[in-house]
């Protein structure tokens, strides 16, 4: 009987040790947020109505195609640009822009245009003086058409060659969102 009692106690002790050593699910320190909506509002410096380039994909990857709205800009004009990112799949809607601004040292937007003469200039910086891109100035040249691609990188190497000038070539990091808009300059 003593042998059975000791065997039973040993079994309980081993089981107890095994279950107390189980690993908990790891905590992901900066899980990627879902970005369902991106708007780039361009307000003419000379006055007039704002042009809003927008991307909306409420069901995320797969499912329904995203809704894209391009824009028509005036030739040889300056625009104040403001980017806004949202997660509209949750209630209440979550501002991803606020998170990007809070973690500005870990993010940077890049702007690539196939329209001749279109230039995007950063007007906001992170705490270290490196560009962010939530706020910009967009300048147009002569009439033309093409695309404007906006890319948000997470953990780019902001000190790499060309990155502070908006060249994504050496930035590395991970792309949080990449959207290409049709753009016409008249």
> Smallest Cα–Cα separation from 83: which of 108, 115, 48?
108
**Within the chain, how many helices (H) and strands (E) appear?**
2, 11
**For residue 96, what are the domain limits?**
33-185
Q: Is residue 18 part of a domain?
A: no
Residue 153 forms part of a structural domain = yes
Task: For residue 11, tell me if it sits in a domain.
Answer: no
Structure tokens at 19: 């279950």
Residue 164 falls within a domain, yes or no? yes
pLDDT of residue 31: 54
Q: Is 37 left (phi over 0), alpha (psi -120 to 50) or beta?
A: beta
- The pTM of the whole model exceeds 0.95: no
Q: How many domains does the chain have?
A: 1
Query: Averaged in consecutive runs of 10 residues, what is the pLDDT profile of the chain (186 residues)?
Result: 46 45 42 87 97 94 90 97 96 96 97 97 97 98 97 97 97 97 97
Determine, yes or no, domain membership for 5.
Answer: no
For residue 22, tell me if it sits in a domain: no
User: Closest by alpha carbon to 54, among 95, 92, 82?
Assistant: 82
Please give the pLDDT value at position 32: 64
Residue 1 lies in a domain: no
CA nearest 110: which of 41, 37, 31, 175? 175
| pLDDT given at position 26 | 36
Integer Cα distance of 40 and 98 in angstroms: 15
94 is a domain residue: yes
């Amino acid at each position: 009987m003593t042998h059975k009692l000791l065997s039973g106690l040993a079994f309980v002790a081993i089981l107890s040790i095994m279950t107390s050593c189980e690993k908990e699910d790891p905590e992901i320190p900066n899980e990627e947020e879902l970005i369902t909506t991106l708007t780039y509002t361009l307000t003419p410096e000379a006055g007039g109505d704002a042009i809003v380039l927008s991307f909306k994909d409420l069901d995320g990857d797969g499912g329904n195609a995203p809704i894209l709205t391009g824009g028509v800009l005036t030739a040889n004009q300056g625009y104040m640009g403001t980017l806004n990112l949202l997660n509209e799949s949750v209630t209440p809607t979550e501002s991803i822009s606020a998170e990007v601004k809070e973690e500005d040292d870990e993010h940077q937007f890049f702007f690539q245009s196939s329209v001749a003469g279109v230039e995007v200039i950063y007007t906001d910086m992170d705490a270290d003086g490196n560009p962010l891109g939530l706020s910009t100035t967009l300048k147009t040249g002569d009439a033309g058409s093409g695309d404007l691609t906006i890319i948000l990188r997470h953990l780019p190497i902001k000190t790499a060659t060309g990155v502070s000038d908006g060249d994504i070539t050496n930035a590395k990091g991970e792309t949080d969102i990449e959207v290409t808009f049709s753009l016409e300059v008249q």
